[in-house]
Amino acid sequence: MNQLPQVLANLIAAQNNFDSSAYSNCFAEKAIVFDEGKTHNGRKEIKEWIEEANNTYKTVMQPIEYLADKQTLKAEISGSFPGSPLVLTYQFDIKEEEILGLRIV
């Protein structure tokens, strides 16, 4: 697998430790996340979204492939949700070690 940017390594570590504060701190203050048809605007909403998801599903991530030129991460996620585990694609907009946007497909 290609080398992950440090911000994504930090994001995965935060997810796997269910640390919503550390997770949200990987994002820019005005970042946007699109997940399951919903938009989460700004670090505060992102923290609330991931905290609720962590409490409900206890999801952990295992990176499979990172395409640096497309800022795309394919990862296996597992947790207490129907269909676990799943492989999802995370499309990032990263600038200067901050995530400006994330689309989960």
Domain residue limits, the chain:
6-104
Sequence-separated (6 or more) residues with CB below 8 Å from residue 73: 4, 8, 63, 65, 66, 67, 89, 90, 92
pLDDT in tens, 46-104: 999 999 999 999 999 999 999 999 999 999 999 999 999 999 999 999 999 999 999 99
pTM attached to this predicted model: 0.94
Note the CATH architecture for domain 6-104: Roll (3.10)
What is the mean pLDDT of the segment spanning 18-31?
A: 98
3-state SS class at 90: strand
Return the biggest CA–CA distance within the chain: 36
CA-atom Rg of the chain in angstroms: 13
